[in-house]
């Protein structure tokens, strides 16, 4: 396998600089009671527990994560939206605590303009939006923060996105979506070097769509934006392997390795240390190949 990306620079995320000359790992920290894999892990007696969230973030950083992605709204298939205040209560205190106590870059997994603004105010370094800033006011809120933003492709909403998704050409249609969203960002003054792209594996896609997008991931390098991917423990692995969520680590590592080989810059995962180990071996082999 050969690395596919031509980008060798760094991502300026608030006061942080994240080197993208090799694949980086984003650790998933869900502050929800109902996320598909780790919902409730940050809760105690049905209440969000900051100490549990901090402990999880600290462990991921120790395992090699370059950035922690905090999310307060489950976007699993069939998930219902949460209220704005509830999402703020779940996300902002955790972001603030990680920034203050761990001095680590935090990405906020949100579509809400209010959560974007308040998270930025307490030190968030990046916005990761599954709706690609399509909620009213989200473009303006993101632009005002000056933070980098990941634009993800999703057809439909979490509640209905997996109801028989259909494309004539999934790569072409995701490409068209990115073109439109990049222009929308440019129109409000968000510079291209502040944007990342995520094809949205599992978000309004069948297994065949997901595999096609992974196989053709290099196609999206023509935008000149870093690529972020997230396939950790997802249902595509259940379909491929017949494994329950708790048994999907080997499959998740295989997908992370394939993503890296096709030029993914940031890989969003639950199992940070294991993924970092796989990528370290991959990187060592690439360096050996380049030196030979």
Measure the CA–CA gap between 150 and 170, rounded to whole angstroms. Answer: 19
CA contacts within 13 A on the Cβ side of 288: 7
Which position has the token pair 């209560």? 89
Across the range 137-147, mean pLDDT stands at 98
More confident residue, 39 or 154: 154
Beta strands of the chain (E only): which ranges? 10-13, 16-19, 24-30, 43-44, 47-48, 67-71, 106-109, 126-129, 149-152, 195-198, 228-229, 266-269
- Catalogue the active-site residues: 234, 268
Measure the CA–CA gap between 194 and 242, rounded to whole angstroms. Answer: 39
pLDDT in tens, 33-84: 755 556 567 765 466 778 899 999 999 999 999 999 999 998 877 777 889 9
The mean pLDDT of the chain is: 91
Q: Are 193 and 187 in contact (CB under 8 A)?
A: no
Which pLDDT belongs to residue 2?
Answer: 40
Task: Please state which CATH class domain 10-291 belongs to.
Answer: alpha beta
How would you label 194-204 residue by residue, b for 16+ Cβ within 10 Å and e otherwise?
Answer: bbbbbbbbbbb
List C-alpha distances in Å: 229 to 45, 57, 88, 222. Answer: 33, 20, 25, 16
Domain residue ranges of the chain, discontinuous segments joined by +: 10-291
Measure the CA–CA gap between 257 and 32, rounded to whole angstroms. Answer: 28
Which position has the token pair 């992974």? 214
Q: Residue 88 above 90 pLDDT?
A: yes
The predicted model scores a pTM of 0.92
Q: Are 115 and 92 in contact (CB under 8 A)?
A: yes
């Amino acid at each position: 396998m050969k690395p596919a990306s031509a980008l060798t620079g760094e991502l300026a995320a608030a006061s942080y600089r994240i080197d993208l000359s090799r694949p980086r790992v984003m650790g998933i920290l869900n502050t929800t009671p109902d996320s598909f894999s780790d919902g409730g892990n940050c809760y105690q007696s049905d209440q969000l527990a900051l100490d549990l969230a901090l402990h999880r973030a600290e462990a991921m950083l120790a395992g090699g994560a370059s950035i922690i992605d905090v999310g307060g709204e489950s976007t699993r298939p069939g998930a219902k939206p949460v209220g704005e205040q509830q999402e703020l209560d779940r996300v902002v205190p955790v972001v603030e605590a990680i920034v203050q106590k761990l001095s680590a870059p935090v990405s906020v997994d949100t579509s809400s303009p209010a959560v974007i603004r308040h998270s930025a105010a307490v030190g968030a370094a990046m916005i990761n939006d599954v709706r690609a800033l399509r909620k009213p006011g989200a473009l303006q809120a993101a632009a005002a923060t000056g933070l980098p933003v990941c634009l993800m492709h999703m057809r439909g909403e979490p509640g209905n996105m997996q109801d028989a998704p259909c494309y004539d050409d999934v790569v072409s249609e995701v490409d068209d979506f990115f073109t439109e969203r990049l222009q929308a960002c440019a129109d409000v003054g968000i510079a291209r070097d502040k944007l990342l792209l995520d094809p949205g594996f599992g978000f309004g896609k069948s297994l065949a769509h997901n595999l096609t997008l992974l196989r053709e991931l290099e196609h999206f390098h023509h935008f000149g934006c870093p690529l972020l991917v997230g396939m950790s423990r997802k249902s595509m692995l259940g379909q491929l392997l017949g494994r329950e969520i708790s048994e999907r680590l080997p499959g998740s590592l295989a997908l992370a390795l394939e993503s890296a080989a096709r030029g993914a810059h940031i890989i969003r995962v639950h199992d940070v240390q294991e993924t970092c180990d796989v990528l370290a071996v991959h990187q060592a082999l690439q360096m050996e190949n380049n030196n030979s």
